[in-house]
Amino acid sequence: AQRVTQPEKLLSVFKGAPVELKCNYSYSGSPELFWYVQYSRQRLQLLLRHISRESIKGFTADLNKGETSFHLKKPFAQEEDSAMYYCALRGGSYIPTFGRGTSLIVHP
Amino acid sequence: DVKVTQSSRYLVKRTGEKVFLECVQDMDHENMFWYRQDPGLGLRLIYFSYDVKMKEKGDIPEGYSVSREKKERFSLILESASTNQTSMYLCASSTPSETQYFGPGTRLLVL
């Protein structure tokens, strides 16, 4: 079975502060991990995936197999980062499992 | 650019009505998915399809059925709508190895 846990329903920070959205997973094999983002009144879209090892909009995420984590980080939050963020895992099948999401609010 | 469209952005239906939600993708993707999105519960998979006329139950299929007669179109059917099916419904499509592309969502209110 595969499981994704996002322990924070809501994360509230001020502009310019560092941000870390936590994601822990449970999967016995080699997973593929993703972060999706949904801005207000927009569709859910891919932010980044661990195999790309990219930085998108200043966000990075590193897969830590020892801690089974894939936390999303940004050193300096911007107001436009306010959105709903979902961590997702894809294991042996092509069906991803999503976490419950974390709402990020960045205050001016 | 992948395009996933859903037939309605907002729907209001009465309890007991039969409801059809349609999703169309234009990238020849094999896989299509229907999710419910509820606050605090995240995305929950209702049904998915990996080919025309093929379907598999997801985590919460009760009260729903699906139809995939053509590769580009995946329909979600609520046979007899109930108030607890009030939700945001998201359609997605993908190839077996790539990420999912989501539609804009249909917000359904069942009165």
Quick: pLDDT tens for B32-43.
Answer: 999 999 998 999
Split at pLDDT 50, 70, 90, the class of B2 is low
| CB nearest to A98's CB, from B42, B103, B104 | B42
**Through-space distance between the first and last CA atoms of chain B, rounded to whole angstroms:** 37
Query: Is any Cβ of chain A less than 8 angstroms from the Cβ of B100?
Result: yes
| pLDDT, position A53 | 75
Assess whether pLDDT exceeds 80 at residue A94: no
Split at pLDDT 50, 70, 90, the class of B98 is confident
Split at pLDDT 50, 70, 90, the class of B58 is very high
Query: Is any Cβ of chain B less than 8 angstroms from the Cβ of A1?
Result: no
CA gyration radius, chain B: 13
Q: How far is A66 from chain B (nearest CA, A)?
A: 25
Q: How many residues does chain B have?
A: 111
The dihedrals phi and psi of B60, each to the nearest 5 degrees, come to -135, 65
Give the closest residue to B92 by CA, choosing from A45, A49, A50, A103.
Answer: A45
Q: Is B111 exposed, middle or buried (0-12, 13-18, 19+ CB in 10 A)?
A: exposed
Torsion of CA A36, B11, B61, B54, to 10 degrees: -80
Assess whether pLDDT exceeds 80 at residue B1: no
Cβ within 8 Å, pair A94-B31: yes
